[in-house]
Amino acid sequence: MSSSNENGRPVVRAGMTVQSLFSSVRMDPLELRVLLEHAIGFTRVKLITHSDHELTEEQARAVSGVLSRRLAGEPVAYIVGFREFYGLPFTVTPDVLIPRPETELLVDLALERLPDRGRLADLGTGSGAIAVSVAAIRPDTEIWATDVSEKALGIARKNAVSNLGEKRSVRFLQGCWFDALEPGSRFDLIVSNPPYIHSGDGHLQQGDLRFEPLSALTDYADGLSALDILIDQAPVWLKKRGWLLMEHGYDQSGAVRKKLAAKGYSQVQSWKDLAGIERVSGGQLPD
């Protein structure tokens, strides 16, 4: 049986069935399924076919632990240690941002613009989600992925090994933006999902964002300073007709396009994510 303590959190006991958890725990069913898979080691199919399974003492403690963490606000991805992105599983820890579905647009746009045996730089790679996803589809591409955080690069390297195996074509470098690249390097494409949230945005203190690395979310300013650096310095590193593509905030596309045009990029435009929000903007270096 189940009940709640004085904090309103579910009490999980040995003998409870999987089905009773789905009936009694007030949580998104998909999140609950993922947490149960992680806590008791069942696959999705086994959760369905063994819904009458009674929890052991050890399983009850494990389930209680993950539910308490989630109900305290901790992101599911950090609890289970991974998040799927572009069809691949990525290890995530509080040292990196959690990859989000809207960022898959950036991968789509990059793949559309990559020439055969092209060169791509992913600046601020975090978990390596963008770089590794591109490499998985286009192993002929030479990819450089940078991040200022050595801990983040450690996670990214792990994801490259687990997802790419012998197809690994990603080179990881530590440094701030373009400082990590070797002088004289030129790329067909530069992509980035930089920190773009305004430092005063209240969302930083809400939901999953409270648990994610602050320096990967905000520039501690107006949300545009990292985007300014990318726009200003990318021409030095791009080949002729190379592209710069950047993810940004829901209300920043107009400002980003204006900055790109002022810097002399051509083909300046923005692309909408699945929610209809202009999520990525970019431009092409002229001949």
Instruction: CATH number of the domain at 102, please.
Output: 3.40.50.150
Do residues 111 and 159 share a domain? Answer: yes
* Residue 128 assigned as binding residue: yes
- Quick one: pLDDT at residue 9? 59
Do residues 167 and 224 share a domain? Answer: yes
What value does the mean pLDDT take over residues 215-243? Answer: 94
The rounded distance, in Å, linking the Cα atoms of 174 and 153 is 7
- Quick one: pLDDT at residue 10? 65
The pLDDT > 70 percentage for the chain reads 96
Do residues 49 and 168 share a domain? Answer: no
Output the pTM of the full model: 0.89
- Quick one: pLDDT at residue 1? 31
- Quick one: pLDDT at residue 220? 84
> What is the overall mean pLDDT for the chain?
92
What value does the mean pLDDT take over residues 137-155? Answer: 96
In this structure, what is the dihedral angle of CA atoms 179, 183, 188, 190, given to the nearest 10 degrees? 0
Do residues 39 and 106 share a domain? Answer: no
HEC sequence for the chain: CCEECCCCCEECCCCCEHHHHHHHCCCCHHHHHHHHHHHHCCCHHHHHHCCCCECCHHHHHHHHHHHHHHHCCCCHHHHHCEEEECCEEEECCCCCCCCCHHHHHHHHHHHHHCCCCCEEEEECCCCCHHHHHHHHHCCCCEEEEEECCHHHHHHHHHHHHHHHHHHCCEEEEECCHHHHCCCCCCEEEEEECCCCECCCCHHHHCHHHHHCCHHHCECCCCCCHHHHHHHHHHHHHEEEEEEEEEECCCCCHHHHHHHHHHCCCEEEEEEECCCCCEEEEEEECCC
Instruction: CATH number of the domain at 41, please.
Output: 1.10.8
* Residue 194 assigned as binding residue: yes
Would you say residue 190 lies in a domain? yes
Would you say residue 82 lies in a domain? no
* Residue 5 assigned as binding residue: no
* Residue 235 assigned as binding residue: no
Would you say residue 154 lies in a domain? yes
Least confident of 100-114, 149-163, 204-218: 204-218
Do residues 105 and 64 share a domain? Answer: no
CA distances from 10 to 3, 16, 32, 33, 39 (A): 6, 12, 13, 16, 15
* Residue 195 assigned as binding residue: yes
Tell me how many domains the chain contains: 2
Q: Could you give phi then psi for residue 91, rounded to 5 degrees?
A: -65, 135
- Quick one: pLDDT at residue 23? 85
Would you say residue 204 lies in a domain? yes
* Residue 124 assigned as binding residue: yes
* Residue 78 assigned as binding residue: no
Do residues 59 and 141 share a domain? Answer: no
Do residues 170 and 209 share a domain? Answer: yes
Do residues 57 and 116 share a domain? Answer: no
- Quick one: pLDDT at residue 20? 87
* Residue 196 assigned as binding residue: yes
Do residues 262 and 171 share a domain? Answer: yes
Do residues 68 and 103 share a domain? Answer: no
* Residue 116 assigned as binding residue: no
What value does the mean pLDDT take over residues 92-110? Answer: 96
Compute how many other C-beta atoms are within 10 angstroms of the C-beta atom of residue 247.
25
Do residues 55 and 162 share a domain? Answer: no
- Quick one: pLDDT at residue 4? 45
Would you say residue 85 lies in a domain? no
Would you say residue 87 lies in a domain? no
Q: pLDDT tens, 2-43?
A: 344 445 456 788 888 999 888 888 888 899 999 999 999 998
Q: pLDDT tens, 43-94?
A: 889 988 998 999 999 999 999 999 999 988 899 999 999 999 999 999 999 9
Would you say residue 84 lies in a domain? no
- Quick one: pLDDT at residue 205? 82
The rounded distance, in Å, linking the Cα atoms of 69 and 89 is 22
Range of the domain at 180: 97-284
Would you say residue 140 lies in a domain? yes
Do residues 228 and 149 share a domain? Answer: yes
